[in-house]
Amino acid sequence: MVGTSELMESPFLDLNNGSSVVEKILAEGFNPASVVPEPLPPVVMTNGEDHGDGEEEVVVGGNIKIKKREIVLGRNVHTTCLAVTEPDANDEVTGDKDAFMASVLARYRKTLLEKTKYHLGYPYNLDFDYGALGQLQHFSINNLGDPFIESNYGVHSREFEVGVLDWFARLWEIEKEEYWGYITNCGTEGNLHGILVGREVFPDGILYASKESHYSVFKAARMYRMDCVKIATLVSGEIDCSDFKDKLLVNKDKPAIINVNIGTTVKGAVDDLDLVIQTLEESGFSHDRFYIHCDGALFGLMMPFVKRAPKVSFKKPIGSVSVSGHKFVGCPMPCGVQITRLEHINALSRNVEYLASRDATIMGSRNGHAPIFLWYTLNRKGYKGFQKEVQKCLRNAHYLKDRLRESGISAMLNELSSTVVFERPQDEEFVRRWQLACQGNIAHVVVMPNVTIDKLNVFLDELVEKRSTWYQVDKVQSPCIAAEIGAENCVCKIHTR
């Protein structure tokens, strides 16, 4: 337990000699631009949702064995947190604290630059320049209530928000007078809202989602106390409509609320929306007995620019679509876009007198800066700009997949995806260096507009060099991941004989 006297002491003052700790740090050659090393996180046994038994199948000597799977949690930030402290009485004179904070921020900026340099595993487009919007950072912009109804709070950006929504409404083919939507605080909020609308339309409906859906879908089911049925997937990660049909028929007496993935989290698989609708119809569900939410977090903005991709359109019997704004679009803060049919939103909306508006969102306050950033990017790039970036990402993803296979590394790339799946690196330090997302025996790289061929080459060269030490002849062999990516994509010894 920390004593009262310890709490009263300032961390910037050395009570033994009265000198400033900041002065000591600077005198000792403190480099504010240095990157603070991070300890490796602990290893724990999994109890994840997709592998509730904490077990996995592994191939050893051609035989299948069951073993407990371990996962690595991120480090405990409390061990390296930056404490908030009270200013010393003489700080205004000495400027010690200002100097200390400036040094911390300078070092943090250096860390961000370094982390961005080695970022490959998560779907964030880090290629953006919003210098022109710096002049707006002095304002507290809050889009309270309904985007289409101005509230009493005047420092808002509704004009930008509705402009962005109209752009996406055109993309997904729904008329202005037929849709409702808003700029969410993240992709998860889009899923929470879309599924909530489905639950309000069908209070006794059952939620169906493939087992490779984003965890926020199952979080929604828990939050809303909904019955949820998990659907099997194909090796590609796409929903297995045969299993979907079997489970629909078991619950034929209740309406269906379906989450359709426009790009799964791990494998980037795109569910066939037309086949999902066909399966519902063949199972006896008329259009007034199902609600489809399309989770397009990343690929929802990429698929419209891929000719052979299943089209996401409100001309089809879907209820809502959500997409993240900080992923393919490229936005410096988490945000997203959620659009649904106007006819569905009345069940959710409530008038709020003190706002002079109504609310049908998940959150009350919303980041008013996000719509401006999105509006700025959409205006600069337009449909043609995004089409070029999609083509670049798909081309670079194929390059990465081909290079991995040429290097004897098992790898898979879905036809409509820029997510390259490959065998999980054996070194967790390597995983953290490149910020790879891992699940079980596989990892992935999400090729975004900011990921260049040069960056991929650096990653590949380092991976190949590391593998030469991980897998040595007659000692440890590279794993078989045919179960995760298909035998045709696996280059382990079993599948290359």
**How would you classify the pairing of strands 256-261 and 206-210?**
parallel
Structure tokens at 218: 């199952």
Cβ contact 263:300 at 8 Å:
yes
Give Cα 416 to chain centroid, integer Å.
18
Cβ contact 419:436 at 8 Å:
no
- Whole-angstrom distance, CA of residue 431 vs CA of residue 418: 19
Active-site residue, from 417, 418, 468, 478? 417
- Whole-angstrom distance, CA of residue 318 vs CA of residue 201: 13
Where do the DSSP E strands lie in 12-118? Answer: 43-45, 55-60, 63-68, 70-72
Active-site residue flag, 417: yes
Dihedrals φ, ψ of 489, to 5°?
-105, -5
Amino acid found at 143: N
Query: Which H helix or E strand runs over 145?
Result: none
User: Which residue from 303, 315, 371 is spatially nearest to 338, judged by alpha carbons?
Assistant: 371
Q: Please state, in angstroms and as integers, the Cα–Cα distance from residue 43 to each residue in 40, 70, 74, 86, 481, following that order.
A: 9, 6, 9, 36, 22
In the three-class reduction of DSSP (H, G, I as helix; E, B as strand; rest coil), residue 247 is classed as helix
User: Which residue from 190, 183, 188 is spatially nearest to 166, judged by alpha carbons?
Assistant: 183
Cβ contact 327:393 at 8 Å:
no
- Whole-angstrom distance, CA of residue 126 vs CA of residue 119: 9
Where do the DSSP E strands lie in 174-231? Answer: 179-184, 206-210, 228-231
- Whole-angstrom distance, CA of residue 331 vs CA of residue 324: 9
- Whole-angstrom distance, CA of residue 196 vs CA of residue 206: 12
Amino acid found at 242: S
Residue 193 — left, alpha, or beta (φ > 0 → left; ψ -120 to 50 → alpha)?
alpha
Cβ contact 270:237 at 8 Å:
no
- Whole-angstrom distance, CA of residue 398 vs CA of residue 419: 10
Q: Please state, in angstroms and as integers, the Cα–Cα distance from residue 380 to each residue in 368, 372, 391, following that order.
A: 19, 12, 18
User: Which residue from 329, 310, 347, 2 is spatially nearest to 198, judged by alpha carbons?
Assistant: 347
| Residues assigned a catalytic role | 417
